[in-house]
Every structure is written in structure tokens, then in C-alpha cells.
Amino acid sequence: MTRAAVYRLSDASGRLLYVGMGRNPMGRWASHADQHAWWPSVASFEVTWFASREEAAAEERRALREDGPLHNLHGTPGWGAFLVKANADCQAYGNKAHREWDKDHPGWRTDLKGKPPAAGE
């Protein structure tokens, strides 16, 4: 079995910003720092290791459903259609698409969190 970790990134007030999973959390953080405009808000992190990827994936799914991280979309209830549209829009931005798209659409995650897109959006 391959160990894997679930990591939680929070801001200075303790608000959960992001939950992720992987075998190399610090490597993933470098990717987040390069791709996401919210990265400078990260003030603390927590890493929990699991004996298998399957156990880590189960915890990540639970955290996405129940803990409400601000910047996760993948795996959260009601966001599938919105994520598909956002990713399609990002294609026009090329390299570092997510960061540039975030800059051009400030507040989109905060404004829409908890409000899944209407049917057809």
C-alpha cells in the first residue's frame, strides 16, 4: 500500500480555504501557489497521513462534503456543472489558466459558494 495525506490549508482567521490529497503535499502546494490567486491567503496547514490512498480519498471526500473549504470545487455538492463551465472558460487563458481566470473574475468562488448553478448554466 502507498501512504497518502490529506492536507487542509487555512487563512489567518482559521477559515478553511482548501482540502487536498496526495503523496507529496508540499509538491501540491507548489502547484497551488503557481496556479491560484488565493494562495497568498494561506497562513497555516494541517497534514494527516493515511496508510492507503483509498483511506485518504475517503477522508478528502468527507471533508469536501462536510467542512466547506472555500476554494474547493471538485467533489463538493452541486458544483459539477459549474466546474465544467469554469474549466472550459479557463482554456482561453493558456498557461497558469486558473490564476489568470481568478484574477479576471474576482470573488466568483465566494459569491457562488453554497449556491449551485441553476440548471443549464
As averages over each run of 10 residues, the pLDDT of the chain (121 residues) reads 92 93 86 81 93 94 88 62 58 55 58 42 39
Q: Report pLDDT for 19.
A: 93
Q: What is the pLDDT of residue 28?
A: 83
Q: Number of helices (H) and strands (E), helices first, in the chain?
A: 5, 3
Torsion angle of C-alpha atoms 52, 32, 37, 71, degrees rounded to 10? -10
Position 78 scores a pLDDT of 52
Element holding 6 (H helix, E strand): strand 4-10
> How deeply is 73 buried, as exposed, middle or buried, from its count of CB atoms within 10 A (0-12, 13-18, 19+)?
middle
pLDDT in the model for residue 116: 39
The pLDDT of residue 46: 94
Q: Is the pTM of this model over 0.85?
A: no
